[in-house]
Amino acid sequence: MVDEVHERTVEGDFLLMALREMLTTRGGGPGGMDGAVAPTHVKLGLMSATMDGDVLAKYFGDAPRVSFPGRAFPVATLHLEDAIAVTKHFVDRQAEWCHGSHNHQRRGGKRQTPIP
């Protein structure tokens, strides 16, 4: 089972490519240039709440699909700056863990101008 296949990363795309290749070669069937996935005893489940399932099914040789009806929830993109604004978080520059703290610089033997 591979979840969140809509999250496109180099590693994720490589995984899908490797799984497709494994399915075509392990089954002993043709699985050649026509893109057909050979039958095999290995079962693969791919999940995504947002990806177009037809595209994924076609990539895996018109693999069968299962769809679950339901309501799609809105998704908002938030960045670190948004989270800081919402939580009203601030960095204590004197905290032991803060790289710009006076204590951290003293421990490292460096005398740098502290972060304002």
Helix runs in 27-72, H state only: 53-59
pLDDT tens, position by position, 57-69: 888 888 888 888 8
SS3 track for 83-107: HHHHHCCCCCCCCCCCCCCHHHHHH
pLDDT tens, position by position, 18-30: 999 888 876 533 4
Contacts of 2 (CB under 8 A, 6+ apart): 15, 16, 19, 44, 45, 46, 47
* pTM (two decimals): 0.48
| 3-state secondary structure at position 3 | coil
